[in-house]
Amino acid sequence: MAASSTLAVSVWRGKESGRFQTFEVPRHESQTVLDVVTHIQRALDSTLSYRFSCRVGMCGSCAMNVNGRARWTCRTHVAEVAAGDRLEITPLANLPVIKDLVTDMTPFFDKWAKARGRFQGGRTRGHDFARVLPESRERRLADAAIECIGCGVCYSSCDVVTWNPDYLGPAALNRAWTLLNDVRDTDNRARLGAVAGDAGCHACHTHMNCTERCPMKLAPTASIAGLKRAAALAALKGELGDAVTK
Amino acid sequence: MKSDFRARNHPAYWAFIVHRASGVLLALFLPLHFWALGQALAGEAALESFLRWSDQPLVKFAETGLVLLLAAHLAGGARLLMLEFLAWRDWQKSLLAAAAAITLAAGLAFLLNIV
């Protein structure tokens, strides 16, 4: 249990331009940052907007910036992050702010589509099951990246997204890498072209902000490095060519 | 909204800063390096007088900085190549520590050699 019984919480109010509003929130044992925001909205100021759903780290809805770092608030204990009994909560960076702590995730998911992040199979229901050996190299590579919950923490933490708003970002590229290793997928030539352009994998500066902050402990940097290698190999073989989208 | 330094305060980001800064400083040094080599074109005496000038303790000490920059850029570059071309392992931070150790060792070796 914390020494102090209250927490001073500065919360962003407004849109892109706005101000911080400070609330006094009682501390409890095992309190999460999402509990704090919920307390403010239910007991102190019902006009506060924020987003959450599952509360157990599965849905990826409740990501916010807590004391300057993007986190999933439902699985972040106040005790881990409250420096001097103070919390600063802002909406995710690199995304348009709708109101208070709610961002518009449209650009984030549009980029998944742009990176061709949708599975494209070549079989019909008339076919037998695809047989993918669990210990095969591709399956293991796909496994390493597949648990993304789409929370936007990596996208929000990425400096390259800040510098180049067209950059596809770690999550979309990580998704493309997962599908590239899916032996059932038939769209990989076009997918590699989609991620090998100016705003694709080669734009990554290997800051590793994404890998540092991913709450699922994934390494999008590894996926992006894999895409770089795959794109370079395809280019050497002359297989990339017209497929690259600028 | 944009992130501030708190989001960037981790070892891999420091490595990026060091790599970028050392690269820029080395690029700025290159014209001086070429100018010094170019003294040879003006004859043996011109080059010799420059080399004598560069023997001063303060210049030697400054060269340690240059060695540190070179070592940091080389070790950091090798780290990036390993990270991108070798299979991913969970020792990325150890790789970073190794790059830092190589840099300091190179700088220290140069400094001890000239003292």
Residues of B whose CB is below 8 A from A212: 10, 12-13
CATH code where residue B66 lies: 1.20.1300.10
Whether A27 is in a domain gets the answer yes
Provide the shortest C-alpha distance from residue A68 to chain B (in Å): 5
Indicate whether A126 and A38 sit together in one domain: no
Given a cut of 70, whether residue A2 has pLDDT beyond it is no
pLDDT of residue B2: 85
User: What is the pLDDT at residue B55?
Assistant: 87
- pLDDT tens across B29-58, in order? 999 999 988 888 888 888 888 889 888 888
- Work out how many domains chain B is built from and give that number: 1
| Residue numbers of the domain that contains A146 | 106-243
Residue A1 covered by a domain:
no
Q: Which positions in chain A have a beta carbon within 8 angstroms of at least one beta carbon in chain B?
A: 12, 16, 65, 67-70, 90-94, 97, 144, 156-157, 159, 162, 205-209, 211-213, 219, 221-222, 225-226, 228-229
| Residue B79 burial (10 A CB sphere; 0-12, 13-18, 19+) | buried
Of the three residues A82, A103, A124, the one that is the final residue of a domain is A103
Q: Which segments of chain B have a pLDDT < 70?
A: 114-115
Residue at B74: amino acid letter: L
Do A114 and A93 have their domain in common? no
Supply angle C-alpha A162, A165, A168, rounded to 5.
Answer: 105
pLDDT, position A245: 61
Interchain contact, A159 vs B83, CB within 8 Å = no
**Nearest-by-Cβ selection for A91 from B1, B16, B85:** B1
d(CA A184, CA A212): 31
User: Of A205, A56, A39, which Cα lies nearest the Cα of B84?
Assistant: A205
Q: Which of A94, A144, A207 sits opposite B16 (nearest CB)?
A: A207
- pLDDT of A242 > 80? The answer is no
Write the CATH number for A60: 3.10.20.30
Q: Scanning the structure block, which residue is given the tokens 């997928």?
A: A185
- Quickly state the pLDDT bin for A243 (edges 50, 70, 90): low
> With bands split at pLDDT 50, 70 and 90, how would you rate the model's confidence at A246?
low
Tens-digit pLDDT profile for residues A66-116: 999 999 999 999 999 998 899 999 999 999 999 999 999 999 999 999 999
Which of A69, A100, A201 to mutate: most B Cβ within 10 Å?
A69
B88 touches A211 (CB < 8 A): no
B53: phi then psi, degrees, rounded to nearest 5 = -60, -40
**Residues A110 and A230 grouped into a single domain:** yes
Q: What b/e string do you get for A176-205 counting C-beta neighbours within 10 Å, with b at 16 or more?
A: bbbbbbbeebebbeebbbbbbbebbbebbe
Residue partners of A39: CB distance under 8 A and separation at least 6: A25, A26
Q: What is the DSSP letter of B41?
A: G
How many interchain CB pairs under 8 A, A with B?
72
Q: Pick A68's closest partner by Cβ from B4, B12, B88.
A: B4
Give the residue numbers spanning the domain of B23. 5-114
A147: left (phi over 0), alpha (psi -120 to 50) or beta: alpha
Counted domains in chain A: 2
Do both A146 and A85 map to the same domain? no
Taking CA A195 as the corner, what is the angle to CA A118 and CA A172, rounded to the nearest 5 degrees? 50
pLDDT of residue A7: 95
Q: Which residues of chain B are at the A interface, by a Cβ-Cβ cutoff of 8 Å?
A: 1-8, 10, 12-13, 16, 80, 83-85, 88, 92
Instruction: Please give the Cα distance from A69 to A74 (Å, whole number).
Output: 14
State yes or no: pLDDT of A132 exceeds 50: yes
Residue A23's beta-bridge partner residues? A9
At residue A123, the pLDDT reads 92
In A, which residues are within 8 Å of B81 by CB distance?
Answer: none
